[in-house]
Amino acid sequence: MTSRPGGRSARVREAVLDAVYAELIHRGYLGMTVENVADRAGVHKTTVYRRWGTVDVLIADALDHTRETDWPVPDTGTIEGDLTAIATEIADTFTDPERRQVPAAIVAAALQSTRALQAKQAFYTARHTEAAKVVTRAVERGELPPQTDPLELVRLTCAPLYYRIFVSGEPVDRTTAERAVQSALAAARTGLL
């Protein structure tokens, strides 16, 4: 009946989760409904209700799906270059009024739904682990003290950007991204992490 791996169920999931991201970008978290996601995916809305139930579960499953896909770990040759690539990706996402809808919806959903909270935690655990590779390589190259905690340096690089976005409500740009990298590296170079 089908030549695609996973069959009809996997195809439906793929179509629905693509529609989740498209709807988030198009309407934002508050404007998103199960019906609109079903319409955009070309799937009957009762199918979507039965399988996912709510917008928050749709967002959680979309995030699980994204977590399972590869994220290209930067490899510029220097820790400063790699962390700048990571921080710049965050800053660029949040300066784009459409793309920023996705992480904003994830944080909002996680504050309303345990399922979404778990998906968010699993997502960031996975991405931290991936991103930590740039620190491990830097330690191997002798760029950073051997005891540096890779996860902590990743957190310190990202934290000032997310703090502005979700807490203080201040803008982020490439300058704030570079500043976050320099501050995190300064702490790492003292051997503190």
User: Closer to a copy of itself at the Cβ: 63 or 134?
Assistant: 63
* Residues engaged in binding a copy of itself (CB under 8 A): 29-30, 104, 107-108, 110-112, 117, 120-121, 124-125, 128, 152, 155-156, 158-160, 162-164, 166-170, 179, 182-184, 186-187, 190, 192-193
User: Closer to a copy of itself at the Cβ: 40 or 155?
Assistant: 155
User: Closer to a copy of itself at the Cβ: 18 or 149?
Assistant: 149
Distance in Å, CB of 145 to a copy of itself, minimum: 12
Which candidate, 41, 29, 127, places its Cα nearest to that of 86? 127
Say how far residue 37 (Cα) sits from the centre of its chain. 20
| Identity at 118, one-letter amino acid code | Q
User: Closer to a copy of itself at the Cβ: 17 or 110?
Assistant: 110
Distance in Å, CB of 173 to a copy of itself, minimum: 14
- Output the CA torsion sign for 99, 104, 106, 108: negative
User: Closer to a copy of itself at the Cβ: 46 or 125?
Assistant: 125
Distance in Å, CB of 46 to a copy of itself, minimum: 26
Which candidate, 100, 120, 115, places its Cα nearest to that of 166? 100
Tokens of 41: 């995916």
Distance in Å, CB of 13 to a copy of itself, minimum: 24
- Cα separation of 127 and 109, whole Å? 19
Which residues, 6+ apart, have CB-to-CB distance to 163 below 8 Å? Answer: none
In the DSSP assignment, the letter for residue 112 is T
Distance in Å, CB of 115 to a copy of itself, minimum: 13
- Cα separation of 55 and 23, whole Å? 11
